[in-house]
Amino acid sequence: MADFLYLFWNRKEVAQQMAKATPEEWQKVTGRWTAWLEELKKTGHIQSLGAPLQMAGKMVQGPQKRVTDGPYAETKDVLGGFNLVTAKDLDEAAELAKGCPILETGGQVEVRPIRPM
Amino acid sequence: MADFLYLFWNKGGVSRMDTASPEEIQKMMQKWMAWTETLKKGGHIKEGGVPLQSAGKVVHGGRKNVTDGPYAEAKDVVGGFILVTAKDLDEATELSKGCPVLEGDGMVEVRPIRSLPA
Amino acid sequence: MTEEVPRLVDHLFRREAGKMVSYLTKVFGMGNLALAEDVVQETLVKALETWPFNGLPDNPSAWLMRVARNRAIDLVRREAHFKYIAPDLAYLFKLREEGAAPEPQREKEIQDDQLRMMFSCCHPDLSADAQVTLILKTLCGFSVSEIAHALLSQEDAVEKKLGRARKTLRESGTFVELTNNLDIPRRLETVHQALYLLFNEGYHGSRSDRKEPEELCYEAMRLTLLLCEHPQGQRPKTYALLSLMCLNAARLPGRLSDDGTLIQLEFQDRSKWDPALIGKGLEYLERAWAGQAVSEYLVEASIAGLHCSAKAYAETEWGRILELYNLLYHLKPTPVVALNRAIALGKAEGLEKGLEELRNLPGAGKLREYPFYPAALGEFHLLAGRPKEAEAYFAEAVKRSRNEPEKVFFERKLKSCQ
């Protein structure tokens, strides 16, 4: 078994809409996430529960340590959260990621192997 | 106090360390240790850092295509992350300035974490 | 706060890189030197990514070696062809089964790995220059740009040289085993020469913007010491070489003034010389003399020993130094040795005799670009009270100077004539 990081990339416009979502809509989305994560937990794939990120943030860059408003903006997506999972290999980790609700709204899940310590 | 995520971005997707000499790697190591030591002493480290391998997969929305990663729409790549605790976003940003990735023109993304419902 | 940050031993990664490359090349075979270097790079990067967060391991050297070895095992497993080309596969798997071997034994094996590498780098088909380049890369953990910097070369030239050298080694196929009683003694000579060249590159580093030319001296000493500790290397000539290095390195701290200019032996502050290194140098000198063979290293070390033992410049035993230069010229009749012999002659038997010798120096034609030749003539004229003649010679030395410290040094000399 090995550990992997899921990075949840959300479409920017989706993320912006979500910021204005009604409680009802929030509940629906949250429900889908909870269901998926529960499933992973039950099958022993959750290594450490990650967290959703707020849209705000800062970028610090280069030797001059220039600070600009975040999040990282050079793509059409924005990082919405992360999770640490355990899987047999990279392929299984990618397979498991297919259940992630972010995919329904055109987002992406980046699966990255973690350097074993 | 609140929790923050630091994402270490490698500019252009390459870590300069892949071609660095042992001497240069050792110097970089000393800088990283100095920085993490400062964070540790100040009680800012929430969860130790996690370095990522540059390989990976990306699962795309809709048809759930799987392609070889890392996430390739950005010209930069996430090289690792660490969870810290700080008073507010400003303090977290200030603390991140000691991070050695910045010396190689890399970036640190500082993101507040939404508190999870208990 | 900074002093509480755990610190790594200086140059630890370089050292360990040399050890790991030597070990991995044994595992992968000589033809896979580049692969061994890749695994080492990967291992060091892995350390960089984990140590700052997890803390320093108790034994960093052992951690690196273990990670490199496990990676090697993975590679060997994955690539079936290694079964045919890895000469030491059985050994590798044995280690895996046994877990960690006892430390002292491990230490001994690592030393042997490095020596085997050293002898293999000194392949007779390679130029001395290529041998030194290869040693710096594989045994000393220098990068191409660091080698280029240290040897006053260009990066692409170093890269090419390394490529050709690796090819030569690959085609020659195997390592020189330390148990090979035919090849090892034959190659020992070449190994000595390469180490001597490495040391001198650092000692006479002819460029002032080099940050730490002494690094090469210390690398050469480390490897020579390794050689002195192995039965195959324990020859009077090896002791003489190490002695020479110690006695010269001991005087490095007195050689430059605070503003980075050269200081003549006569005016050096002898209290700055390193007494521990002088002690070691004299100890090895004694061991070298105990053998039967007289070598140029032995004679050079003996000369350095006499300089180190003189409490003050005025107490220098020039008569004995001259005898040794006579012997050295017999062993190594080069123009530079002739020049130094002429200087010793002047000091021992009078200025005019020295000048006479300098004017009729054998091989002087080859010293046409060497600044210390006119400088020696200038010095003797100056001492003989003829500043006018001296001036012309020092002006010539300034013209020939090869770097800033030399130039500043000769210009000062020139001024003192006016």
CATH assignment of the domain containing B62: 3.30.70.1060
Of C361, C392, C366, C369, nearest to C379 by C-alpha is C392
φ, ψ of residue B42 to 5 degrees: the values are -80, 5
Asked if residue A112 has pLDDT above 50, the reply is: yes
Between residues A74 and A40, which one has the greater pLDDT?
A: A40
A74-111 CB burial, b ≥16 within 10 A, e <16: ebebbbbbbbbbbbeebebbbbbbebbbbbebbbbbbb
The mean-pLDDT minimum among C24-33, C81-90, C133-142, C391-400 falls in C81-90
Position B1 scores a pLDDT of 82
The 3-class SS string of C361-389 reads CCCHHHHCCCCHHHHHHHHHHHHCCCHHH
By residue count, chain C amounts to 418
Asked if residue C374 has pLDDT above 50, the reply is: yes
Cβ contact (<8 Å) for A115 and C54? no
Subunits adjacent to chain C (3 or more Cβ pairs under 8 Å): A, B
Q: What is the largest CA-CA distance in chain C?
A: 79
CB nearest A98 (choices: B53, B64, B96) = B64
Q: Is B2 on the interface with C (CB under 8 A)?
A: no
Cβ contact (<8 Å) for C17 and B22? yes
Domain count, chain B: 1
| B31 inside domain | yes
Instruction: Give the residues across from B67 on adjacent strands.
Output: B58
Q: Using one digit for the tens of pLDDT, what is the confidence trace for C275-307?
A: 999 999 999 999 999 987 889 999 999 999 999
Residue A61: strand, helix, or coil: strand
CATH of A2-113, one of 1.25.10.10, 3.30.70.1060, 3.40.50.300, 3.40.50.2300: 3.30.70.1060
What is the span of the domain harbouring residue B99? 2-112
What average pLDDT score do residues B17-41 get? 89
| B118 inside domain | no
Position A26 scores a pLDDT of 82
What percent of chain A has a predicted confidence (pLDDT) above 90? 8
Residue ranges of the domains in chain A?
2-113
Local confidence band at A116 (pLDDT 50, 70, 90 cut-offs): low
What is the Cα–Cα distance from C114 to C227, expressed in whole angstroms?
10
What percent of chain C has a predicted confidence (pLDDT) above 70? 90
What is the Cα–Cα distance from C320 to C302, expressed in whole angstroms?
10
**Degrees to nearest 5, angle at CA C59 with C57 and C61:** 110
The mean-pLDDT minimum among A39-43, C84-88, C180-184 falls in C84-88
Q: What's the Cα-to-Cα distance from B71 to each of A72, B50, B106, C193, C254, rounded to whole Å?
A: 13, 17, 17, 53, 57
What average pLDDT score do residues B33-52 get? 83
Closest chain A CA to residue C45: A115
Position B118 scores a pLDDT of 39
The mean-pLDDT minimum among A24-33, C111-120, C125-134 falls in A24-33
**Degrees to nearest 5, angle at CA C385 with C384 and C387:** 115
Q: Percent helix, strand, coil in chain C (nearest 5)? A: 75, 0, 25
| B41 inside domain | yes
Subunits adjacent to chain A (3 or more Cβ pairs under 8 Å): B, C
Of A112-116, C75-79, C366-370, which one has max mean pLDDT? C366-370
What average pLDDT score do residues C260-264 get? 82
CB distance B21 to B117 below 8 Å:
no
| B117 inside domain | no
Give the distance from residue C324's alpha carbon to the nearest chain A alpha carbon, in angstroms: 57
Q: What is the mean pLDDT of chain A?
A: 85
Give the distance from residue A93's alpha carbon to the nearest chain B alpha carbon, in angstroms: 9
Give the distance from residue A113's alpha carbon to the nearest chain C alpha carbon, in angstroms: 13
